[in-house]
Amino acid sequence: MERVERVAAIIERFVAEHPSACDTAWGVNAFWLRSVPDDISLADLALALQALVSRSVLDRVVIGGQTHYTACKAPSRPDNGPENT
């Protein structure tokens, strides 16, 4: 599980730096994880993606019949004007 958490941490940093990133698992592996050691398997990647979806770090969306992963957007707050304290 240490490898899975390491991959999850790298993905989490990537989406923090690139909040509009959206890619398939293949794209995540090819582009988001360029600096990951070779000992990371596709199974580790799948578990890391699932963990990040479960923690609401990533959203899973289907585009053109393929599953893509993107950063979860912070819930928008209604604009109530300046707060009075």
Statement: residue 80 has pLDDT above 90: no
In a domain, 8, yes or no: yes
In single-letter form, the type of residue at position 65 comes to G
CB atoms within 10 A of CB 80: 7
Tally of domains in the chain: 1
Range of the domain at 33: 2-71
Strands of the chain (E only): list them.
22-23, 58-63, 66-71
Instruction: Give the pLDDT confidence score for residue 76 in this predicted structure.
Output: 47
Position 21 in a domain: yes
Q: How far apart are CA 42 and CA 24, in angstroms?
A: 12
Instruction: Write the pLDDT tens digit of every residue in 28-78.
Output: 988 898 866 667 788 999 999 999 999 999 999 999 999 999 998 755 445
- CATH number for the domain spanning 65: value is 1.10.10.10
Residue 85 scores a pLDDT above 50: no
Amino acid 37: pLDDT? 65
φ and ψ of 17, to 5 deg: -85, -25
pTM across the whole model: 0.79
Q: Which residue is associated with the tokens 């990951």?
A: 36
What pLDDT, on a 0 to 100 scale, did the predictor assign at position 2?
87
